[in-house]
Structure 1
Amino acid sequence: MSGLSRYKPVLLLALILCLFCPSTALATAPRVSSSAAVLMDVTTGQLYFTKNAARRADPASLTKLMTAVVALESGKLDDVVTITGRSSSVEMGSIIDLRKGEKITLEELLKAALVTSANDSTVAIAEHVGGSHDRFVRMMNAKAVALGLFGTRYINTNGYHHPNHYTTARDLAVLTRYALGLPKINELVQTREATVHWVEPQQREEKIINSNRLLSIGYDGIDGVKTGTTPMAGNCLIASATRDGRRLIAVALNCYDRYRDCITLLDYGFEVVKPVTVAGAGEKVTQAAVTGGVQPSVDAVAQDALEVRIDPDFLPKLEQRLEIKETVPAPVKQGQSLGQAVYFLDGQEIGRLNLVAAEDVPRPGWHRQLWDKVFD
């Protein structure tokens, strides 16, 4: 009997398990068609999944998130914007057909930019808030640096392709986490449909529908965020959802099916990623050397329990790094701080434990000290 033949029953059993036990597939990292993707926890900033997270990519209309952030932080929503020739001449992609001389508030322009991804509205925003389009772009780049988006550079406000206009999946997740903290952006990115109103002509209005289809299909907990599409960028999507008080952000760039990819990522975060106890309160983690004490070391124990959220299958990959004093002089008191244990997964810090002494370690009595000096 050949070596392969001997294992045929085992291989057949494995195939049956794969076909009829889909829950086993959920125990592994999700598979997505995206060329780059990220899944982030909004509260902690922890990344639960990454795929080419630092690879430079074309952001397309996902650019508009930064446009909105800068506009909100540097402008006023009730400002009345007079449309210029430059913004009215924008014709590519989604637009609300702004016309030179019209007046519209900054709030309405932001609505158009984030709900229906109107390209002409971002140019009008930039010229009003920044004084010029180019100055506004410089403000966008300065904000990117301030947020630590060092893989990001902007050339325009709407995401038209340019070789020097780029970002990364990780940077987009960080930006989105920040943007969702701004109430107006958080409101607009989950708006399914709305009406844009003009100041002049007063009677003009236009109904708009959100380009993010996840808001329409009723995915459980969906509450944002933004689509992006160009021939160079492909189909891109940032999606957020909230369940049981947890909000997650999924970023999927250059996808075959951006909606399916984001659903896969969000399902993974909600259904597979679980709380895992790394150490219980009082549990021994390591030892610390003691000098001048009645014993040469003391147990360093967890001051409090540490619970982290990870895919339980990744628990064996958890890396522990100790930040603890090489030696501690006696006397040592029970509960005395000795340092920390830091836990990493794939290079990302996911939790810290304060380490304390498990017991007292006193100095020896004077007669013992004298004995040690004489017979040392």
Structure 2
Amino acid sequence: MKRKLALFIALILVIIPLTTSHAENSWIAAKSAVLIDADTGTVLAQKNMDKQMYPASTTKIMTGILALENCKLDEVVTVDDKTPYEIEGQQIYLQAGEIITMKDLLNAMLIQSANDAALLIAKHISGSQEEFAKLMNKKAKEIGAKNTNFINPNGLHDDNHVTTAYDMAMIARYAMQNETFRNIVSNYTYTIAPTNKQPETRYLKSKNKLLYATGSGNKITIDGNVTNIKYEGATGIKTGYTPEASNCLVSSASRNGQNLIAVVYYDPGNNLYIDSHNLLDYGFENFTNKKVAFKNEFIENIPIEHGSIPFVTAIVGEDISASIANDKAEKLKRNILLNDKITAPITKNQILGKIEYSIDNKILTSATIIAADSVDQKAIFSVVNTTQSGIVNVFTKWWFWLIIVFILWRLYIYRRRKKRRRRFKSKYKLKG
């Protein structure tokens, strides 16, 4: 009987966490999703955010970053002979020998999701798709992606072309800090004028319905209420689809100074818009982006050793904000961590430690603590001044040369007296 009871309790202990985990994200239909605060990078909600997924055309966010960082918008690009025949899926049908600007290519890629535009950008920057993929992966790691491997610039399916919802949220966050990128992805239409090979004007339109879709045929149900797919405050950024990836969407929105980014991967049908609405609503309704400390804000006067004054004024090194759950705002705690030993001399803006803000022992954000002003050593300790870089330099100090002159003068007096004594002794020895 005891054995059966023990097995029953063990089964309950296993089932409960599984049930709870499922309940926490059961409102998200996507296989993988995440919501972050775009300003702080804080994860506000997630479902399998570190699971590797096929990103489809959300890949083009990274391609757009590299294009903006390596090219000028008015840069002219000539279409090579191979690109028009190497691509499938969505495109603007570039022609061999066609001359087009980088601005048009970027808009074609990010708004129309043109695969040929993405491939041409990659070749223009790196010479080949393979070399460009190396650049993509290097940049992804620099941004903070942990489980991403890009094979191509457009997201066409490859079993080894993978990312995660979390990684793409970090990449999108980085991209949205670029003003030109923000301006492009916030638009849902664009026009490319006729070129040397294309006599017709190209009219482009985004598939990101969060930016514009209203009226009949563009409705979804949120919490039992029928509403437009268009999302209030939507600012971008990129859709994606392949049969293997299903529907994907990286979206962003801003309300009352709060900026959010949501990522949903493998989301069938209109669920990608329902999930995106729900995620963004959850963030706006339950979290506040609050500035918890200001640059140059006074922390305390810290005692120092060997200083010309007994303390140094410590201040916050930069503005810091935190995404705080509305029902836990009163639990916000501040923790000041100072370096073990603070000794003069101290230079202005020297790092003295850091300040952390946390809720329920979870660190939300942190910043450096710096010195408001310089503090010299006491005279007795300042004979030799060691700079922060460890280089000893006393030769520029006036008091050093004063000491040298004094020593030389005393040496001169000593030698004169010694010489006189010798003469005196020599004189009386001769007389004797």
Q: What TM-score do the two structures reach when normalised by structure 2?
A: 0.61
**Shift in CA distance, 147/338, structure 1 to aligned 2, threshold 3 Å:** closer
Which residue matches 2:272?
Answer: 258
User: What's the CA shift for 1:146?
Assistant: 1.8
Matched residue, 1:124: 120
CA deviations 1:277-327 (Å, max 9, x no partner) are 999xxxxxxxxxxxxxxxxxxxxxxx9xx9843334567998998857899
Matched, 1:232 2:244: yes
Whether 1:349 and 2:345 are equivalent positions in the alignment is no
Question: Which of 164, 176, 197 pairs up with 1:168?
Answer: 164
What does 1:27-42 correspond to in 2, within 5 Å?
Answer: 31-42=27-38
**Greater relative contact order: 1 or 2 (C-alpha under 8 angstroms, separation 6 or more)?**
1
Q: Which residue of 2 aligns with 1:208?
A: 204
Letter in 2 for 1:154: F
CA distance in 1, matches of 2:321, 2:102: 44
Answer yes or no: is 1:249 the counterpart of 2:261: yes
Q: CA deviation at 1:276?
A: 8.0
Residues 29 and 321 of structure 1, relative CA distance in 2, 3 Å threshold: farther
Counterparts of residues 40-79 of structure 1 (less than 5 Å): 40-79=36-75
Confirm whether residue 155 of structure 1 aligns to residue 151 of structure 2: yes
Give CA deviations for 1:191-249 in whole Å, capped at 9, x if unaligned: 11111234313633210111101111331111100001111111110111111122111
- Secondary structure of 2:190's counterpart equals strand
SS in 2 for 1:66: helix
Gaps of 5+ in 1: 1-27, 280-302, 329-336, 355-376
Contact 1:38 1:47 (C-alpha < 8 Å) held by counterparts: yes
Deviation at 1:133, TM superposition (A): 2.2
2:133–2:150 CA contact under 8 A, matched in 1: yes
Alpha-carbon distance in 1 for matches of 2:257, 2:292: 22
**Deviations 1:82-106, CA, capped at 9 Å, x for gaps:** 1123320145221111111211111
Match of 1:272 among 286, 292, 295: 286
1:30–1:264 contact (8 Å) kept in structure 2: no
Q: Which amino acid aligns with 2:127?
A: G
Cα distance change of structure 1 residues 243 and 213 upon mapping to structure 2, 3 Å threshold: same
- RMSD of aligned Cα (Å): 3.8
SS of residue paired to 1:40: strand
Counterparts in 2 of 1:152 and 1:110: CA distance versus 1, 3 Å: same
Separation of aligned partners in 2, 1:99 and 1:275: 48
Alignment partner of 1:241: what SS? strand
Q: Which amino acid is 1:68 matched to?
A: G
- On the 8 A contact 1:81/1:103 being kept in 2, the answer is yes
Matching residue within 88, 93, 102 for 2:89: 93
Per-residue deviation, 1:77: 1.7
Shift of 1:32: 1.1
- AA paired with 1:77? L
Residue 155 of structure 1: how far off its partner (Å): 0.5
Structure 1 window deviating more from structure 2 (309-318 vs 221-230): it is 309-318
Structure 1 residues 216 and 307, CA, compared in 2 at 3 Å: closer, same or farther?
closer
C-alpha distance in 2 between matches for 1:201 and 1:327:
70
With normalisation by structure 1, the TM-score equals 0.70
Q: 1:252 to 1:132 in 2, by over 3 A?
A: same
How much does 1:142 deviate?
Answer: 1.7
Query: Does residue 310 of structure 1 match 2:306?
Result: no
1:171 Cα shift?
1.0
Cα distance, 1:60 vs. partner? 0.5
Q: Judging changes above 3 Å, is the alpha-carbon distance between structure 1 residues 54 and 121 closer, same or farther for their aligned structure 2 residues?
A: same
Matched, 1:222 2:218: no
Matched-pair contact (CA < 8 Å) for 1:30–1:265: no
Identity rate, percent? 37
Separation of aligned partners in 2, 1:146 and 1:239: 22
Deviation per CA, 1:109-142: give whole Å up to 9, x if none.
1110000101111111111122222222221122
Report what 2:11 is aligned to: none
Post-superposition offset of 1:37 = 1.2
For 1:221, give the aligned amino acid. G
Once residues 277 and 140 of structure 1 are traced to their aligned partners in structure 2, the CA distance between those partners, rounded to angstroms, is 33
Distance 1:348 1:61, change over 3 A: farther
Distance 2:329 2:29 in 1: 26
Equivalent position SS for 1:39: strand
Contact conserved, 1:343 with 1:352, CA < 8 A, in 2? no
Aligned pair in 2 of structure 1 residues 121, 322: CA closer, same or farther (>3 Å)?
same
1:186-197 → structure 2 map (5 Å cutoff): 186-197=182-193
Number of residues of Structure 1 aligned to a counterpart in Structure 2: 306
Instruction: Decide which of 173, 177, 184 is 1:177's aligned counterpart.
Output: 173
On the 8 A contact 2:323/2:364 being kept in 1, the answer is no
Is the contact between residue 292 and residue 322 of structure 2 (CA under 8 Å) also seen in structure 1? yes
Structure 2 Cα separation of the partners of residues 99 and 80 of structure 1: 15
Task: Identify if the C-alpha distance between structure 1 residues 278 and 100 changes in structure 2 by more than 3 Å, giving closer, same or farther.
Answer: closer
Moved more, 198-207 or 177-186: 198-207
Q: 1:352 to 1:103 in 2, by over 3 A?
A: closer
Q: Look at both structures and tell me which one has the larger radius of gyration over its CA atoms.
A: 2
